[in-house]
Amino acid sequence: MRLLLPTFLLLVTLACSGPAAPGPGPRGEMVTIAVASLPPTLDPHRFAALSPRRFGLFEALTTISPRGKVDPELAARWEVREPTRWRVLLATGRRFHDGTAVTAVAVKASLDRASEPANRLPVAGYLATVREVQAIDAITLEVVTTAPDPLLPRRLSQVAILPSSLAERPLSSDWSREAIGSGPYRLAAWAPNERLVLEAVAEHPAQPAVRTVVVRPLPEGAARVAALQRGEADLIVDTPAESAAALQAAGMTVAAGEAGVSVSVLLDATRPSLRDRRVRQALNYALDKERFVREVYRGFATLERGQPIGPSTVGFHSSLEPYPYDPAQAKALLSAAESPRLTLRFDVFVTSPEVRESAFLIQSQLAEVGVTLDLQVVTESTSYLDRLAGRLPRAELTTATLLSVPLLDAEPVLQWFRSTPPAGAPWLENPRFDAAVTAASTTLDPAARQALLQQAVAELRADPAVLFLVQPQRVWATRGLTGVEPRPDNEPRPEVLRRR
């Protein structure tokens, strides 16, 4: 377990390594953020985190708010010119930290670098539908796609824009220590796995109030909590739920928000034992989801409302309700499906203590309605992925984490339940569901697309290929800061922080 350095030692260390960081100033001029980990490189194209911003160092053309709205960042606005042609107008007067202007040529260089197949960069998937980027004039671009892509404005939020001087360097060059972006903070110091220090850009439109931001990785949740309690951190992310009450009692603020994550159990509806939808409905009725919220997540989760997405995700169906806890209904459905006693295999890939706790709770609750689970813990990730894709014989039930983050759109989640999923064998074969998801993938009108996604979501609730459980929340804690709003991408935005 690694602990934060005492404040005085931290300042000495910063002064003695890397580019000089601003010295200590009045309270409010420096904020320390403790996170579980830092990316191995500051090159936002090389390492695809949930956010490309690196705590305000970089910006993209667009950004997605915690409530799922696409907002302008370096782009001022965008529009569909033709079904496969988007026009993007850049905000005027924006500059990189080296003083060069943010132009259409620079944006094109970044998008070309990120999408070039030969570069094999992890962010390329966000630009998979992009055929060509054209710089029309200094502030105007056109993006041509291979097919109508309603997700393009969201995809562009994941590709940071670099000055041409960096975008055109050979990939063999790691320029982390001289990273240049256009965000509200510029690089002051970088020590991989130790710290990231950023200095405010006073002329940035966001007008950050905090002068210096220090981001330190502390992998253990208890270490982050201790750092906050000792005053060595002002804000921590991934706060352990069991520590929240003690922090609040000590006068600190604990905030929770949507994570865009569904901790799910997939049901293989193609298997004979689960082919009848009444059996899969019964499994959902048999689970007391409130117990998962209370006992597993200590209150920091919300019930899934019959869909593996949350309210901030495009496609969320507000009229749907969670499957109620109704063991009698579960038994009746199992009897009607002529499956009063079932034995099913349950593959559990333990990615967190909560997954393990949830698996045993599922096993005990399903036993109460006559369903026996042969629980098998899978410890090797390759074996798990092979089972998930159907390359190895898979169980009737398999744990999975479904992500609508970072795009906060239902389509990437729903794709897994199509009869032709992105990878491997299908979990569900439902023509009505397939038709709705397929149509939504190329429908550019937002209202029409929302209706199609909701149609698919409603079909999935009625013909479930998943146990609808809970949506865990992001939990952050702070001492003395305002502007703290947990984000699905789990990266604080220092420019909105203020001292009380």
DSSP string computed for 393-415: ---SEEEEEEE-TTTTBSHHHHG
Which positions ≥6 away from 186 have C-beta within 8 Å?
A: 57, 97, 180, 198, 199, 201
Examine the domain organization and report whether 191 and 111 are in the same domain. Answer: no
Determine, yes or no, domain membership for 373: yes
Nearest to 315, CA basis, from 413, 442, 417, 208:
413
The length of the chain, given as a count of residues: 500
Q: What is the pLDDT of residues 38-82, one digit of tens each?
A: 999 999 999 988 899 999 999 999 999 999 999 999 999 999 999
pLDDT at 483: 96
Examine the domain organization and report whether 228 and 375 are in the same domain. Answer: no
Residue 248 backbone dihedrals phi, psi, to 5 degrees:
-65, -40
Ranges 20-29, 159-168, 437-446: which has the least confidence: 20-29
Q: What is the pLDDT of residues 154-169, one digit of tens each?
A: 999 999 999 999 999 9
Cβ pair 18, 177 in contact under 8 A: yes
The C-alpha atoms of residue 99 and residue 108 are separated, in whole angstroms, by 18
- State the residue range of the domain holding 346: 261-473
Domain edge (last residue) among 142, 168, 194: 168
Q: What is the pLDDT of residues 101-148, one digit of tens each?
A: 999 999 999 999 999 999 999 999 999 999 999 999 999 999 999 999
pLDDT at 14: 30
As a 3-state breakdown, the chain gives helix, strand, coil percent values, each rounded to 5, of 30, 25, 45
pLDDT at 423: 82
Determine, yes or no, domain membership for 326: yes
Query: What amino acid occupies position 175?
Result: W
Q: What is the pLDDT of residues 365-389, one digit of tens each?
A: 999 999 999 999 999 999 999 999 9
Helical packing angle, 446-462 and 431-440, nearest 10°: 160
Determine, yes or no, domain membership for 112: yes
Examine the domain organization and report whether 440 and 456 are in the same domain. Answer: yes
Report the percentage of the chain scoring pLDDT > 90: 92
Annotate 414-425 with b (16+ C-beta within 10 A) or e (fewer): bebbbeebeeee
pLDDT at 210: 96
Examine the domain organization and report whether 268 and 405 are in the same domain. Answer: yes
Cβ pair 51, 260 in contact under 8 A: no
Q: Which long-range contacts (CB under 8 A, 24 or more apart) does 443-452 make?
A: 443/148, 443/150, 444/80, 444/83, 444/148, 444/150, 446/150, 449/150, 449/314, 450/314, 450/315
Examine the domain organization and report whether 225 and 371 are in the same domain. Answer: no
| Residue 431 pLDDT exceeds 90 | yes
Nearest to 431, CA basis, from 412, 452, 456, 449:
456
pLDDT at 209: 94
Query: What CATH code is carried by the domain that includes residue 350?
Result: 3.10.105.10
| Residue 270 pLDDT exceeds 70 | yes
pLDDT at 49: 83
Confidence bin at 500 (pLDDT 50/70/90): confident
Confidence bin at 8 (pLDDT 50/70/90): very low
Determine, yes or no, domain membership for 230: yes
| Residue 353 pLDDT exceeds 80 | yes
Nearest to 358, CA basis, from 379, 334, 375, 370:
375
Examine the domain organization and report whether 51 and 74 are in the same domain. Answer: no
Average pLDDT, rounded, for the chain:
93
Examine the domain organization and report whether 203 and 187 are in the same domain. Answer: yes
Determine, yes or no, domain membership for 175: no
Examine the domain organization and report whether 164 and 132 are in the same domain. Answer: yes
Query: What CATH code is carried by the domain that includes residue 208?
Result: 3.40.190.10
The C-alpha atoms of residue 413 and residue 180 are separated, in whole angstroms, by 34
Report, as an integer, the average pLDDT of 11-15.
30
Determine, yes or no, domain membership for 178: no
The C-alpha atoms of residue 123 and residue 321 are separated, in whole angstroms, by 35
For residue 375, how many C-alpha atoms fall within 13 Å in the half-sphere facing its CB? 20
Determine, yes or no, domain membership for 425: yes
The C-alpha atoms of residue 383 and residue 247 are separated, in whole angstroms, by 40
Query: What CATH code is carried by the domain that includes residue 64?
Result: 3.90.76.10
pLDDT at 48: 84
Model pTM score:
0.92
pLDDT at 50: 87
| Residue 22 pLDDT exceeds 80 | no
Beta bridge partners of 373: 344
Examine the domain organization and report whether 96 and 232 are in the same domain. Answer: no
Examine the domain organization and report whether 46 and 105 are in the same domain. Answer: no
Q: What is the pLDDT of residues 384-406, one digit of tens each?
A: 999 999 999 999 999 999 999 99
Examine the domain organization and report whether 118 and 130 are in the same domain. Answer: yes
Determine, yes or no, domain membership for 173: no
Q: For 116-159, where are the alpha helices, taking DSSP H only?
A: 152-155
Cβ pair 343, 395 in contact under 8 A: no
pLDDT at 273: 97
pLDDT at 258: 97
| Residue 3 pLDDT exceeds 80 | no
| Residue 2 pLDDT exceeds 50 | no
Domain count across the chain = 3
Confidence bin at 26 (pLDDT 50/70/90): very low
Sign of CA dihedral 418, 419, 425, 428: positive
Q: What is the pLDDT of residues 238-259, one digit of tens each?
A: 999 999 999 999 999 999 999 9
In the numeric block, which tokens belong to residue 233? 């951190």
Examine the domain organization and report whether 451 and 483 are in the same domain. Answer: no
| Residue 18 pLDDT exceeds 50 | no
Q: What is the pLDDT of residues 221-241, one digit of tens each?
A: 999 999 999 999 999 999 999
Confidence bin at 20 (pLDDT 50/70/90): very low
Domain edge (last residue) among 145, 168, 191: 168
Domain edge (last residue) among 168, 201, 219: 168
pLDDT at 172: 85
Report, as an integer, the average pLDDT of 181-195.
97
pLDDT at 12: 27
